[in-house]
Structure 1
Amino acid sequence: MKVGGLLPGASAILTGRLLTVSALPTVACLFFVLTLVWAGAPGALRFKEAWETVAGLGPGEVFVVFLGALLVALVGHPLQLPLVRLFEGYWPERAARLEGLGRARQRRLRGPVVDLAAVPDDAAAVRAAGQAWFEQRRRFPDDGLLRPTRLGNVLAAMDSRAGQRYGLDAVVVWPRIFPLASDRVRAVVMDRRDQLDGSVRWSAALLLTSVVAAGLLWDSGWWRALALVPLAGARLAYLAAVHAALAYAESVDTVFDLHRFDLLAAMHLPLPDDHRAEVVANRRLSAFWLNVPVLQDGYLHTEPGLPLVAPAPQQPSAPPSGGAPAGE
């Protein structure tokens, strides 16, 4: 029986982000728990009875189970951001000791900060040190921003370093630059974000399922080992979330690389002449968005479709073709 036949319009609702991030983990974990109950938990398990129960379900009963899972997914969907923050290691004050232990462990995993200046003048050593430096920077932020979890450190490194080489504060600039990205770039960013959120949701749902299963199977003898199945799945999903976060951070970097000048154009600000001027202008702009009283030098308004490049000053002594185009 098709889902659309059970719930009118469900095929339109269960598409995209809601399906992959919320609905699938909820339905799968709910089915796992119900299977244990139908098999006789708590108590000795008889999976033949579970199969007979599933085979005997009518369309109305299937509809109720599906609707219940969908409602749980819909209610939990707005909580996705707090859930990710929890997995990043932003915990309440009463967990401060646990947070400190997590930071100490992450500091050990990071190891000593790679110092490229101390690398011997050897091609192999330089290449190895460069790779170690690159991996360390994409996986760990500066020591003062270290989080107690691997996922938190990858995302903290992204927040602190994306756009940094251009003088842009990623956290304050991101809501303004992302809408300016091209459709292809935005599709990549959104897809990788969905992978990150989906992996976190799977990990949380499987972890909760493991706890519920352990309670149901407490008096079921060796069947208690079944509670380890969702626990192992939660661990794998968390590792997948870390890798998805690395890919997401790469796509965020790409947005800053390709569309930072579109941001200036949207703000009707002139394009800088060189990288140094770009960094200075972007720092002022980031401070302005942080409500720091910084005045911009001036706006530049042009016809739609024309580049917002400040005209180069006239040099009478130089030939017309002697200078480089403005903005290069």
Structure 2
Amino acid sequence: MTLGEIARPAQALLSGRLLLVGYVPTAAGALAVLTLVWAGAPGSPPSAHRAWQTATDASAGEVVVVGMALLVVALLAAPLQLSMVRVLEGGWPRWLGLDLARRRQVRRRRQLATLAVPTVSGTATAPSVEEVQRAGAVAVRLRTHYPSAEYLVRATALGNVLASMEDTAGREYGWDAVVAWPRLYPLLGSANRAIVDDRRDGLDVAARLTVTFAAVAAAAVGLLATTGWWLLIAAVPLLASAAAYRGAVAAAVAYADAVRVCFDLHRFDLIAAVHLPLPANRGEEVAVSTALSVQWRQNVTTAVTYQHP
């Protein structure tokens, strides 16, 4: 067996999603904490010269050990990715201010709903073109960043973007996206699946960086607590976490748009996949998709006539 054959499984393991979503954020966070430790923390003010000297003195074996340790951490954290996203959506206990955060999001949604209605100024009998365009832009933001019903509003901006996707994707065709999407995704063509996967990876990377840099900020506070003004260094990963969260919200908007497009283009593939006749008009389509959604969501079966190719 050659060295190339030995390395091939590792190359496959480190390719694609694991490398992008798992290993890179983990390595970035670990490097930030190690830099503080190499610089002399805790116990003394950090020194850039000391950190550089320690890093350059590391042997190849030590680098390999650190790299393998980071890989193990990335593998162990992979099953927690969904939980991280859920937390960023607002999935934390009420005693941490969940209700207060949700009320804040409700107020923002109401403000957008008010601004989405064109207003007439002065003596004009109709809103101006500029006012209509401004209201239209606000309406688009309202539709993409918040669910249609107020009771569905979640505690964070990321949670509301994803709630909007679950609420509206395929709704005009009668689909419940929460139960229909897991069944529609395997039927996507290669081009659409690549787009969906790419945008989901972007969301997961940003979410992982948000959590990682928040953890780095907490670690920095612990390492620099006795160093005076050097404690302000902890603000750097905290700002990076905030920037990553904004990126996660933007990535979620793009991902939600891709999911909506998939319902537009592939909803009939889902009907055909369960061997039901394709509907002849929108009314029949809504009836079929609604019945399937109810069946999958509530386990309520209805009498149907199959059509086998």
2:178 equivalent to 1:171: yes
Partner of 1:205: 212
Partner of 2:69: 68
Contact 1:114–1:132 under 8 Å retained in 2: no
2:130 equivalent to 1:130: no
Partner of 1:139: 145
**173 and 281 in structure 1: CA distance in 2 versus 1, 3 angstrom threshold:** same
2:1 equivalent to 1:11: no
Counterpart AA for 1:242: V
Contact 1:114–1:133 under 8 Å retained in 2: no
Counterpart AA for 2:293: S
Partner of 1:59: 60
2:269 equivalent to 1:262: yes
Decide which structure has greater helix share. Answer: 2
- Secondary structure of the residue aligned to 1:111 is helix
Q: What CA RMSD, in Å, does the superposition of the two structures yield over aligned residues?
A: 2.1
CA distance in 1, matches of 2:34, 2:199: 32
CA distance in 2, matches of 1:65, 1:283: 53
Counterpart AA for 1:244: A
Residue 123 of structure 1, CA deviation: 6.1
Partner of 2:235: 228
Partner of 1:35: 35
Contact 2:116–2:138 under 8 Å retained in 1: no
CA distance in 1, matches of 2:133, 2:48: 56
Counterpart AA for 2:171: Q
1:1-328 aligned at under 5 Å gives the runs 9-42=9-42, 43-95=44-96, 98-112=97-111, 113-114=113-114, 121-122=126-127, 124=129, 125-141=131-147, 142-302=149-309
Per-residue deviation, residues 53-73 of structure 1 (Å, max 9, x unmatched): 111111111111111111111
Deviates more, 1:116-125 or 1:7-16: 116-125
Residue 214 of structure 1, CA deviation: 1.1
**115 and 45 in structure 1: CA distance in 2 versus 1, 3 angstrom threshold:** closer
Q: What count of residue pairs does the alignment treat as equivalent?
A: 296
CA distance in 1, matches of 2:127, 2:302: 48
CA distance in 1, matches of 2:240, 2:277: 52
Contact 1:146–1:153 under 8 Å retained in 2: yes
Percent identical among aligned pairs is: 44
Contact 2:25–2:209 under 8 Å retained in 1: yes
Residue 88 of structure 1, CA deviation: 0.2
**218 and 118 in structure 1: CA distance in 2 versus 1, 3 angstrom threshold:** closer
Residue 148 of structure 1, CA deviation: 0.7
Per-residue deviation, residues 245-286 of structure 1 (Å, max 9, x unmatched): 000000000110000001111111111111122111111111
CA distance in 2, matches of 1:247, 1:196: 9
CA distance in 1, matches of 2:215, 2:300: 48
Residue 218 of structure 1, CA deviation: 1.3
Per-residue deviation, residues 19-39 of structure 1 (Å, max 9, x unmatched): 111111111111111111111
Per-residue deviation, residues 191-237 of structure 1 (Å, max 9, x unmatched): 00000011000010000001101111112222211111101100000
Residue 290 of structure 1, CA deviation: 2.1
Residue 181 of structure 1, CA deviation: 0.7
Partner of 1:326: none
TM-score using structure 1 length: 0.85
Which has the greater radius of gyration? 1
Counterpart AA for 2:52: W
Partner of 2:123: none
Contact 1:88–1:147 under 8 Å retained in 2: yes
CA distance in 2, matches of 1:22, 1:155: 22
Deviates more, 1:253-262 or 1:85-94: 85-94
Structure 1 unaligned segments of length 5 or more: list them: 303-328
CA distance in 2, matches of 1:136, 1:143: 12
Residue 9 of structure 1, CA deviation: 4.4
**119 and 256 in structure 1: CA distance in 2 versus 1, 3 angstrom threshold:** farther
Structure 2 unaligned segments of length 5 or more: list them: 121-125
Contact 2:202–2:251 under 8 Å retained in 1: yes
